[in-house]
Amino acid sequence: MESSSLGLILDSSVIIDAERSGRSIRQLLEDISAARLDEGVGVSVVTIAELVHGAYRAKSTDVRNRRLEFIDRIARDLPVYPVTLEIARIAGRIEGEGAGRGVILGFEDLLIGATAIHLNYSVATLNVRDFARIPGLQLVKS
């Protein structure tokens, strides 16, 4: 979807893909900036939790430590947006309305999407199928 948002929230799928393909966070940001020059880029604190979870599931200490260093660089180089009361209200409304229609949303994706909606940002994701079920959310397929 084309967006008219003011910025971009990176979903963990985009960050994981960059890390697995050997790209640095700087390379990822350069790739995104080439397509979206005037927009801010950040992550939800929920994305950080998802990435840390993945790091601790690594099969070796070396892989875990490499992933944790990558996460530290992300948190140092990008704004990390907290889940605020307003974001919680947006998420609760979306989840409640969706449940009333039989739509079940993953809680992490819901919080990331609510963060983006609150900020008037789009979400860059490889997981378009799940995020597309969040009404009012603008997506950028990465």
How do residues 92-133 score in pLDDT, each as one tens digit?
999 999 999 999 999 999 999 999 999 999 999 999 999 999
Residues paired with 8 in a beta bridge = 41, 122
How high is the pLDDT of residue 118? 97
Question: What pLDDT digit, counting tens, does each position of 47-62 carry?
Answer: 999 999 999 999 999 9
In this structure, which topology does domain 7-141 adopt according to CATH? Rossmann fold (3.40.50)
Sign of CA dihedral 28, 50, 88, 134: positive
Percent of the chain, pLDDT > 70? 90
Q: Give the pLDDT band of residue 2 (cuts 50, 70, 90).
A: very low
How high is the pLDDT of residue 3? 46
How high is the pLDDT of residue 129? 93
Q: Give the pLDDT band of residue 33 (cuts 50, 70, 90).
A: low
Instruction: Report residue 57: phi and psi, to 5°.
Output: -95, 0
Locate tokens 């992490």: which residue? 108
**Angle (deg, nearest 10), helices 107-119 and 45-56:** 150
On the question of pLDDT at 1 being above 60, the answer is: no
At 104, the amino acid letter reads I
Contact criterion met (CB below 8 Å) for 12 and 51: yes
The residue among 140 and 116 whose pLDDT is bigger is: 116
